A and B are shown apart, each in its own frame.
Chain A
Amino acid sequence: QVQLVESGGGVVRPGGSLRLSCVASGFVFSDYGVHWVRQAPGKGLEWVACVHFDRDEDYYAESVKGRFTISRDNSKDMFYLQMDRVITEDTAVYYCVYGDYVESWGQGTLVTVSS
């Protein structure tokens, strides 16, 4: 069955960097765009970034543009979120997902930005 597993979360200081990873299985990874979605404590769901199946196009929410970079490795069925110059508002559970909508959510990985 479809599975996406996030890793790489943790505590990071404001201004620091963190790299999240996601390994996918159960579908043809190279056929789909992939996304990161986050949920801050007590808040709603927020789309963060996506990269198209062929890696040629990536898109970002205004809140992270210029600070985060999404990338993928189709040979490994993995994708990543490089988080640079993090701020306290980036504290959230981050989910990796694919396609147009999410039929199966993973556990997510918690990122805490704190001094």
Chain B
Amino acid sequence: QVVLTQSPSASASLGASVTLTCTLSSRHTTFAIAWYQQQPQKGPRYLMKLNNDGSHSKGDGIPDRFSGSSSGAERYLTISSLQSEDEADYYCQTWVTGYWVFGGGTRLTVL
């Protein structure tokens, strides 16, 4: 069974950068994932699909401030030049024949 692990919370200052991490279970380190953002009281929003090799394809209208990278079992979402509207929950998700898995989400606070 695939497991995705995310830290429950993160914080960074306005204008700074932050990197969120999604860790795949040890037997599934080659899997691609998707990142989603959910601002308070809104539905989820697709950010990007992130492959094992670090290549990624972003959703329409996602700013260049959002980027993705990979290393082993780790999948990263980096947000630069943090803005107040980046304060949100961030989820990773992967897919296997027969089911999907979501990480528990990281709540990002912009200080």
Q: How near does chain B come to A6, taking the closest CB pair, in angstroms?
A: 11
Contact A47 B100 (CB under 8 A): yes
Within 8 A of B (CB), among A77-96: 95
Prevailing SS type, chain A contact patch: loop
Contact B44 A105 (CB under 8 A): yes
Contact A47 B44 (CB under 8 A): no
Chain B residues within 8 Å of A105, by CB = 43-46
Count class of interface residues, chain B: 20 to 34
Cα A50 to Cα B43 in complex, Å, equals 20
Proximity string of chain A (57-80) to chain B, C-beta cutoff 8 Å, 1 when within and 0 when not: 101010000000000000000000
Contact A44 B34 (CB under 8 A): no
Chain A residues within 8 Å of B101, by CB = 47
A115 close to B (CB within 8 Å): no
Contact B45 A46 (CB under 8 A): no
Q: Which of B45, B46, B49, B93 contacts A45 (CB 8 A)?
A: B93
A103 close to B (CB within 8 Å): yes
Q: How near does chain B come to A63, taking the closest CB pair, in angstroms?
A: 12
Interface-centre pick from B34, B49, B99 (highest chain A CB count, 10 A): B99
Q: How near does chain B come to A37, taking the closest CB pair, in angstroms?
A: 7
Chain A residues within 8 Å of B103, by CB = 44
Cα A92 to Cα B16 in complex, Å, equals 35
Q: How near does chain A come to B13, taking the closest CB pair, in angstroms?
A: 26
Contact A47 B98 (CB under 8 A): no
Q: Which of A45, A59, A103 contacts B102 (CB 8 A)?
A: A45
Hey, which bits of chain B sit against chain A, CB under 8 A? 34, 36, 43-46, 49, 59, 89, 91, 93, 95, 98-105
In the assembled complex, 13 residue pairs joining A and B whose CB atoms fall closer than 8 Å, in A order, are A45-B36, A45-B44, A45-B91, A45-B102, A50-B100, A59-B98, A59-B99, A100-B95, A101-B93, A101-B95, A102-B36, A105-B43, A108-B43
Add 7 more A-B contacts to A95-B44, A104-B46 (CB < 8 A): A37-B102, A45-B102, A47-B100, A101-B95, A102-B44, A102-B93, A106-B43
